[in-house]
Amino acid sequence: MEFSDRLKKLPEQFFASLVGKVAKAKAEGRDVINLGQGNPDQPTPAHIVSALQSAAEDPMTHKYSPFRGLNEFNKAAADFYQKEYGVEIDPETEVAILFGAKAGLVELPMCLLNEGELMLLPDPGYPDYESGAVLANVKFDTFPLKEENQFLPDYSALSDEQKKEAKLLYLNYPNNPTGATANKAFFEETIAFAKEHNIAILHDFAYGAIGFDGKKPESFMQIDGAKDVGIEMYTLSKTYNMAGWRVGFAVGNPTIIAALNLIQDHLYVSLFPAVQKAAAAALTGDQSSVTELVSLYEQRRNAFISSCEKIGWEAKAPAGSFFAWMPIPKGFTSESFADYLLEKADVAVAAGNGFGEFGEGYVRVGLLVDEARLEEAVTRIGKLNIFGYDKGKG
C-alpha cells in the first residue's frame, strides 16, 4: 500500500523536526531552554477546569453532540464578540464550532475552492496554511510580509493575474511569527481590496487577546463590511491556555460559515459536549485571568528584549502574540543560526525559513518560559560573542 499523491505532497511538518532536535539534545542530558514552540506554559484557569469536571459528570454530555454543536457554545461565542468587540454575531448562522482553529484553517480551502483554483498565503506565515492548500489540491501563491511595511501585505504588489484568479486570502494579526499587529485602516483596505476582486478573507485571530503597551488587538469583524467578504477564526488555546483542549470557533460571513459547518457534518459529530460547556464558561466568565496572562507575557517580552539589547541583539519588541521575531547575525542562515544556538548554547529557537522564504534572516523566539529562563537563554547566547559586544559589560 502507498500513501495517496495528496499525502505525498504535504510539506514536512516543520515543528516535528524541531521537536526531534530538542528531544535528541535532552536525551544527551543537556539543559535545553526551549524557545522554539508555541505551546502555552501556564495552566488552564481553574474555573474552566471546574466547568469541565462538572459537565463531564453529567451523563447527558456522554452522548453525541448535535452536529453543529451546543447552542450554549454558539451563543457564548456570539456574546463574547458583542462584549469584547461590539460586534453583533448571529449564533444560528454566523458561528461554526471548530476542533481547534487549526482544523478550520486546513478545512477552509476545501470548502470554498475547486481543484486548481488559487489562494493567497502570507510569507512568513503559519506552516499549516500550506497544508490546507495541498489537501484541497489547489494552487497557492504567497505574498511577502516585510519589516519595512510593518509586516503587513502590500496588495499593490500582487500581479493582475493573481488579483483576478485568487479566490481566498489568509491573514493573521497579531501575527505568528512576527508579532506584528494590524490596525483599522489596514483592515478597511483589505475589505475594499476583497470586494473589488471578489476574494474571500480568512483572518486567523489566534492571538487576539494578546496585545501590549495598552493596545487591544483589532478584530477584523469590527470593521464595516467584514462580514460581506470573510470570517475570523478564534481559538481558546492562547487566550485561556487551552491548547490541548482543541477547541475554537469561526464567526462572520454566513455562506462561509455554512460551508464550514457542512464539511464538518461529514467529518465529525462536533466536540465532546463537556468541552463545549467548559469553552462557553471560558468565554462568558470572569476574564481577569486573561488580563493577568497578557501582563505576564508583556513582562516576559520586556525582560527578553532588554536582555537582548545588553548583548547587542537588537530587534523591535513585538506588539502582540507571545513571539519575538529576531534578526540573525551576519554569517548565518536562519537554520544554521538556530542549529548553532542549540549546539553551543542549549537554546532552541525556530528558524525563520520554516515559516516561508521571507522568514529567512530571522528566528522566532517563544516567550513561553519564565523571565529567569529567558534571561538565562540570552546570557548563554551572549557568551558566544556573536553580536560583537555586551552593553551590560561596557
Reported confidence tier of residue 12, pLDDT bands at 50, 70, 90: confident
3-class state of residue 348 by DSSP: strand
On the CB side of 318, CA atoms within 13 Å amount to: 32
| Of residues 52, 81, 117, the one with CA closest to residue 273 | 52
Extents of the domains making up the chain: 5-43+288-393, 46-284
pLDDT of residue 388: 67
Q: Which three cell numbers stand for residue 296?
A: 505576564
Check for a shared fold between 5-43+288-393 and 46-284: no
What is the arithmetic mean of pLDDT over 245-263?
97
Distance between CA atoms of 308 and 326, rounded to whole angstroms? 10
Mean pLDDT on 281-289: 97
Q: What is the DSSP letter of 199?
A: -
Joined grid coordinates for residue 39: 505551546
- Strands 200-204 and 166-172 turn out to be parallel
Residue 95 has pLDDT above 90, yes or no: yes
CB-based burial of residue 198 (10 Å sphere; 0-12 exposed, 13-18 middle, 19+ buried)? Answer: exposed
Cα 363 from Cα 359, distance rounded (Å): 8
pLDDT at 174: 98
pLDDT of residue 13: 74
If we measure between CA atoms, which residue out of 280, 299, 373, 305 comes closest to residue 71?
280
pTM: 0.95
Check residue 315 and give its pLDDT. Answer: 84
3-state secondary structure of 210: coil
> What is the C-alpha separation between 36 and 38, in angstroms, rounded?
7
d(CA 236, CA 247): 6
Smallest CA-to-CA distance from 359 within 393, 327, 389 is with 327
Asked if 370 and 300 count as a contact pair (C-beta separation under 8 A), the reply is: yes
Q: Identify the CATH class of 5-43+288-393.
A: alpha beta
CA dist 191 → 169, 200, 222, 225 (Å) = 11, 9, 12, 7
The vertex-175 CA angle with 170 and 177, nearest 5°, equals 105
**Contact 293/42 with Cβ under 8 angstroms?**
yes
One-letter amino acid at 16 equals A
Distance from C-alpha of 132 to C-alpha of 110, rounded to nearest angstrom: 8
Question: What is the rounded average pLDDT of the residues 167-193?
Answer: 98
Mean pLDDT computed over 33-60:
95
State the architecture of 46-284 in CATH terms.
Answer: 3-Layer(aba) Sandwich (3.40)
Percent of the chain with pLDDT over 90: 91
CB 18 within 8 A of CB 36: yes
Mean pLDDT on 104-119: 97
Decide: 86 and 218 in contact? Cβ < 8 Å: no
Question: In this structure, what C-alpha cell is assigned to residue 218?
Answer: 483589532
- Segment 360-394, tens digit of pLDDT: 999 999 999 999 999 999 999 999 999 864 444 43
Weakest-pLDDT range from 53-62, 117-126, 239-248, 385-394 = 385-394
pLDDT tens, position by position, 161-176? 999 999 999 999 999 9
Position 346, amino acid: D
Average of per-residue pLDDT values in the chain: 95
